[in-house]
Amino acid sequence: MKSFILSIMLFSALFSGSANAAVKVYKGSSRYSSDVICTVREAKVYKKTSSYSSDVVCNIRDSRIYKGTSSYSSDVLYNVKDGKVYRGTSSYSSDVLMTIRDGKVYKGNSSYSSDVICTIRDGKVYKGNSSYSSDILFSIDGLLTLEQFVAVFHCVNYVW
């Protein structure tokens, strides 16, 4: 029971309101600088450890994640609202790509355990419902907002 409560607290901390320091995302459970996938600085996700504007994978404004450094509505990748991640600028239930709730990322609007894409625990993101170290997809070394997590998820799955 104690680990369950700790897990909920850590999940809440991962999605805290403010994350100003640079947060690095690593392959698997690694902490080697050569295994950095991306770095989050405030409202931008950069390739690897870069801080150059040309290496911005996506940026966050309000509840939207934009491609690169763009702020055009045509470049909105995702719209995040109430734990739901929508395609582009949509807010239609048919355009929900994933739902993030209780330390789990579900396909679409689902809340079924068979539809878990990944599990977030102790700063690590595991494949599906797993908690095995061999199933760690990536590790996060700091605090992220929900929108920052979605931007990182995009970077890990579609850019890296």
- The 10s digit of each residue's pLDDT in 13-48 is 455 545 468 999 999 999 999 999 999 998 999 999
Every domain of the chain and the residues it spans: 2-159
| CATH class of the region 2-159 | mainly beta
The pTM of the whole model exceeds 0.85: yes
- Cα dist from 121 to 84, 101, 107, 134, whole Å: 19, 12, 18, 14
Q: Which helix or strand (DSSP H or E) is residue 11 part of?
A: helix 2-14
